[in-house]
Structure 1
Amino acid sequence: MIQCLLLATIIGVGVGIFVYRSPGGSAIATALSSTILTIPSFALLGLLIPIVGLGVPPTVIALTMYSLLPIVRNTIVGLSAVDPAVTDAAKGIGMSRFRVLAQVELPLAWPSILTGMRVATQMAMGILAIAAYAKGPGLGNLIFSGLSRVGSPTAIPQALTGTVLIVILALILDGIYVVIGRLTTSKGIR
Structure 2
Amino acid sequence: MSLTEYISDNLVEIYNDAVRHANLTIVAMLIAVLIGVAAGVLTYQRFALAALVTTTTASFLTIPSIALLGILIGLVGLGTTNVLIALVVYALLPIIRNTIVGLRGVDKAVVEAGQGMGMGRSRLLWRVRLPLAWPVILSGVRVSTQMTIGIAAIGAYVKGPGLGNQIFDGLGRFGAANSLNQVLVGTFGIVLLALLFDLAFGLVGRLTTSRGIRG
The CA deviation at 1:157 is 1.2
Counterpart position of 1:50: 74
Q: Percent identity of the aligned residues?
A: 55
User: Are residues 1:154 and 2:178 paired?
Assistant: yes
* Structure 1: distance between partners of 2:205 and 2:121: 26
> What SS does the corresponding residue of 2:199 show, helix, strand or coil?
helix
- Structure 1: gaps spanning 5 or more residues: none
Deviations 1:9-68 (A, max 9, x none): 000000000010121111111101101000100010001011111111111100000000
Deviations 1:92-128 (A, max 9, x none): 1101100000000000000001000100011111100
User: Are residues 1:112 and 2:148 paired?
Assistant: no
* Structure 2: distance between partners of 1:158 and 1:89: 58
Number of aligned pairs? 190
> What SS does the corresponding residue of 1:71 show, helix, strand or coil?
helix
Q: Which amino acid in the other structure matches residue 24 of structure 1?
A: A
Counterpart position of 1:140: 164
Counterpart position of 1:74: 98
Give runs of aligned pairs for residues 3-42 of structure 1, distance below 5 A. 3-42=27-66
Instruction: Kindly name which structure, 1 or 2, has the bigger radius of gyration based on alpha carbons.
Output: 2
Out of 112, 131, 136, the residue aligned to residue 88 of structure 1 is 112
The CA deviation at 1:153 is 2.9
Q: Which amino acid in the other structure matches residue 206 of structure 2?
A: R
CA RMSD of aligned residues (A): 0.6
Q: Which amino acid in the other structure matches residue 123 of structure 1?
A: M
- Structure 2: gaps spanning 5 or more residues: 1-24
Which TM-score applies when normalising by structure 2? Answer: 0.87
Q: Which amino acid in the other structure matches residue 116 of structure 2?
A: G
> What SS does the corresponding residue of 1:188 show, helix, strand or coil?
helix
Out of 120, 127, 131, the residue aligned to residue 155 of structure 2 is 131
Greater RCO between the two (CA within 8 Å, min separation 6)? 2
> What SS does the corresponding residue of 2:125 show, helix, strand or coil?
helix
* Structure 2: distance between partners of 1:36 and 1:63: 11
User: Are residues 1:122 and 2:183 paired?
Assistant: no
* Structure 2: distance between partners of 1:161 and 1:167: 10
User: Are residues 1:63 and 2:83 paired?
Assistant: no
Counterpart position of 1:100: 124
Which TM-score applies when normalising by structure 1? Answer: 0.99
> What SS does the corresponding residue of 1:13 show, helix, strand or coil?
helix
Counterpart position of 2:202: 178
